Amino acid sequence: MLAFRFIKGGKPTIYKGGVNLKKTIEKIDLYFTELINLIISLLFIAMFIVIIIGVWKRYVINNPWFGAEEAARYLMVYLVFIGICSAYNKNRHPSLTFVINRFSPTFRRVWFIIIDLIIFVLLIYMFKYGMEKTVMAVYSKTPALRLPFNWIFISIPIGSVLMMIQLVLKYLKVVFIKEKD
């Protein structure tokens, strides 16, 4: 059973069975953001180590690591698809705000909702396309490392799902937590 509690001068806080949904949403968002940032950091460190080892083996030892470039490339693919989630969360994605900022706050709010709906539809398409590519690439292997290509293509649906979760959390925060535009 949902119960509304009105706080003087603020938005209504919704409780479900004694659980404060505002605090729960904030905690989920915090943990989700920290998890994404941890994964991005680990991927970046792994890519850095692979590149350093590849350069060291090629130019110092004169015995190149055959799969270094490929490993770095695929780590970068994961970094990009998971990184879009973090960029969106911090509102650091590319946008043309100098045009939108000339309009009223109401128009901007509606505009950003429409943009987010378009992004959500595109993410659903990316998820579907990524799953199709993942299934089709089951028996294909990468040239140097001989990894199954579906390990690479699964980054598309993973990134899409993470971004969809980020969008849902954004609108849960808008509904339940008073924030400025």
pLDDT digits (tens, 9 = 90+) for 85-97: 998 888 777 777 7
CA distances from 158 to 55, 82, 90, 91 (A): 30, 8, 19, 20
The residue ranking higher by pLDDT, 21 or 63, is 63
Mean pLDDT of 43-71: 95
Reduced to 3 states, what is the DSSP secondary structure of residue 147?
Answer: coil
Domain for residue 4, yes or no? no
Domain for residue 168, yes or no? yes
Residue 16 has pLDDT above 60, yes or no: no
Residue 9 has pLDDT above 80, yes or no: no
The residue ranking higher by pLDDT, 20 or 42, is 42
Residue 180 has pLDDT above 80, yes or no: no
Domain for residue 7, yes or no? no
Q: What is the pLDDT of residue 1?
A: 43
Residue 71 sits in which domain range? 26-176
Domain for residue 13, yes or no? no
Q: How confident is the model at residue 51 (pLDDT cuts 50, 70, 90)?
A: very high
Residue 12 has pLDDT above 60, yes or no: no
How buried is 18 (Cβ within 10 angstroms: 0-12 exposed, 13-18 middle, 19+ buried)? Answer: exposed
Give the chain's domain count: 1
Domain for residue 84, yes or no? yes
Residue 68 dihedral angles phi and psi, to the nearest 5°: -65, -45
Domain for residue 18, yes or no? no
Mean pLDDT of 103-128: 94
CA gap 136, 35 in Å, rounded: 30
Domain for residue 75, yes or no? yes
Domain for residue 21, yes or no? no
